[in-house]
Structure 1
Amino acid sequence: MAEGGERGRSWYLSKEEIEEGSPSRKDGMPAAREAQLRSVYSSYIRDVGRRLGVPDITIATGTVLCHRFYLHQSLLKNEWQDLENVVVFGLVDILG
């Protein structure tokens, strides 16, 4: 377990905690599918962000926030398209 207490309290997780303890994996999603979806939503944020002229650091921050969200929420219960659209609109709002 990560230093600092329970899993939900720490920002630092081991590779094993991430890979074996993710909510998506607990809900039965295969590891390969989870990795594929992470890649897809990361690419989506990057592509839309660049088309909108969003700075790379802002795109990276949005991607990290999505990864953090899915450390605590299942991809099977939360459609990635919904979250990624919220992130993209948030990026535009920050810059607007």
Structure 2
Amino acid sequence: MNMETIVQRVSECNNVCTFTMRDLCDAIGRQRCTAQCCQTISDTLTEYGLGHWPPELRPDQSHKVRVYRIGTPVADMIGLVSRCTESSDEALRTMAELYSVFVVG
């Protein structure tokens, strides 16, 4: 797997897709997952216009990482969840109401 494959899969999955750290290490040409590798993955994803959750990557090849395209509604939602502010709370409540009306209801 390479970075172009990561970018393509994120696009095919409507701007969000989960990978293992092993996938991401492979994509940057690393065989072992180290702390340095984690920083390189984060920097490389950013260069490709991608973000990741959790914000702190772990050097564990089986660890799951959600990769998303920056500047999309998915990125906005991830940002809301990660910010602990009153305005983020209000936005999350509004989204939950809409979800219950349009998806559940």
Q: If the TM-score is normalised by the length of the shorter chain, which range does it land in?
A: under 0.3
TM-score, structure 1 normalization: 0.28
Higher Rg: 2
More strand by share: 2
TM-score, structure 2 normalization: 0.26
More helix by share: 1
**Higher relative contact order by CA 8 Å / sep ≥ 6: 1 or 2?**
1
